[in-house]
Amino acid sequence: MTINLPTERGLGILGLAALLGVFGDALLRATPWGVNLLLWMGVAAAAGWALLPGRQSGRSPITGWPLLAVMFFALCFAWRDSSFLRFWNGVAILGALSLPALQLHGVRLRLARITDYAMGLAASGVNAAAGALMLTPDDVHWHVMSRHGRQARAAVVGVALAVPVLLVFGGLLMSADPGFERMVRSLVDWDFSPIVSHVSLAAFIAWTSAGYLRTLATAKDPVLKLGNTALAKAPSKPSLGLLELGIPLGALSVIFLVFVGLQARYLFGGEAVILQTAGLTYAEYARGGFFELVTASTLLLPVLLGTEWLLDKSNMRNVIRFRALSATLLVLIGLMMLSAVQRMRLYMDAYGMTQDRFYAMAFMIWIGVVLALFGATVLRGMRNRFAFGAVTTGFMTLAILNIMNPDAVIVRTNLARAEAGAELDLEYAARLHADAIPELIARAPALLREDQCDVFWRAIDRWTPREAADWRTWNLGRAKARRAVLRARSPNCRASEPATF
């Protein structure tokens, strides 16, 4: 008797999940993750691709770019050492992994709404957590398998009967002879904590992999109904008129306009106007308010999306007025963001660049792009194209940051300021991640002798290999840092204890 197709597919999912669990325990146990995550994701992607319905006929609904995004951001774990980038690369991997599940349920990514992406992410997470439970009743027909498993079942029963017999008689014989007791204890004297640790990690990876692979293989969602049901229908919503929505948006416009007017005075009036009007020094003005402006720019987006969703669109004249009011807010927030950029530029000119300042600027630029995308899509009646643009520009922004190597940019900028006579915070520069070390060592000769020695000893202390590194954690940034330290020449410094952090 042959095993039916669903059962073959279910057993295939179980087998691949078990393989991924064992492989994951062997690779991902070593931290910080580097090439090991890339290798595991490559195997997992191949397993998922092999299970896709319609793959052999060339009719699979899955497109290649989500898989490419997953592999690129997994590659970044073996490329960059920045903790900020590593965290967001992990988030990007999880986000990209939810996209094939949407495509399998008939959702076109280019036309998907924000709620579609959110539900797809939630569904993928729930399926990874609970999807393996559905393999037993739905995918593997165990009543068919039972006809072929009599011998295996008999073996399991035999082992279960043998255990108590061996325990009783073995205990008696151990008590009867010390030599036999020593031999038995040497055979069973195991440290079970590593075994439990390995089994637990492998089981966790296998469990989540089985749930996710089942979603790809069967295009079924045991928790959320996707496809032509929940995701295809617009949710019921209340509708508000232009008056109800126009009052808060109009009030925001007034506040933004007043704020922009004040910022114009500061920008064109210079330091004297800031001292006289705001009662702040130029540095205090530059330092204060940037993150508040970034927050305001970020919060405006959900406000505009929410009000546009609530607007009663039966009256086209009110829709046009709403769009004009929203466009006014976009222009004003754009001017406020320019003010924030100017503040941060002044602050970095005075105090240098840090990771917080660099990534805040990058985030604000992305928010600016998303706001511009809102104006180009939602305000032109193409709301269904907004979410795809926001997601893809987010992926692109993160990819550009990985390519730029922010830590090296920070070091390059701060050392250029130091060469021009500004103060350099060497302790902060040496605390940066491995991606910054080659740039720091290469440009150190331009510093004062005392600063060169400080850089040299700090780099030696932190990045000289003290023991053989685990190949699973190999990372290009860390490898370059260690190689740069090994090749660095001492700037004729007196022997001293390496600096500590």
Q: What is the pLDDT of residues 286-300, one digit of tens each?
A: 566 677 888 888 899
Q: Is the pTM of this model over 0.85?
A: no
427 pLDDT tier (thresholds 50, 70, 90):
confident
Closest by CA position to 113, among listed 304, 307, 391: 391
Q: What is the pLDDT of residue 175?
A: 76
Q: What is the pLDDT of residue 103?
A: 81
Structure confidence by residue, pLDDT tens digits, 72-126: 999 999 999 999 999 999 999 999 998 887 887 778 888 888 888 888 888 888 8
Structure tokens at 308: 């546009």
Structure confidence by residue, pLDDT tens digits, 430-468: 889 999 999 998 888 887 777 788 888 888 888 887 777
Structure tokens at 216: 């790809």
Structure tokens at 35: 């090439």
pLDDT at 268 over 60: no
Helical segments of 52-176, H only: 65-77, 83-104, 114-130, 142-146, 150-176
pLDDT at 482 over 70: yes
Mean pLDDT of the chain: 80
N-term to C-term CA, the chain: 69
* pLDDT-above-90 percentage for the chain: 30
Q: Under 8 Å CB-to-CB from 234, ≥6 apart: which residues?
A: none
Looking at residues 312-318, what average pLDDT do you find?
Answer: 87
47 pLDDT tier (thresholds 50, 70, 90):
confident
Strand partners, 240: 311
CA atoms 119, 122, 126, 131: torsion sign: positive
Judged by average pLDDT, the poorest of 38-47, 65-74, 466-475 is 466-475
CB 35 within 8 A of CB 475: yes
Q: Could you give the CA distance from residue 71 to residue 38 in angstroms, rounded to a whole number? A: 7
pLDDT at 4 over 50: no
pLDDT at 369 over 70: yes
Q: What is the pLDDT of residue 399?
A: 97
Q: What is the pLDDT of residue 3?
A: 44
pLDDT at 304 over 80: yes
* pLDDT-above-70 percentage for the chain: 77
Structure confidence by residue, pLDDT tens digits, 185-238: 776 666 667 777 888 899 899 989 888 888 777 655 444 444 334 444 555 667
Structure confidence by residue, pLDDT tens digits, 126-158: 888 887 776 655 555 555 555 555 565 666 667
Q: Under 8 Å CB-to-CB from 57, ≥6 apart: which residues?
A: none
Q: What is the pLDDT of residue 497?
A: 45
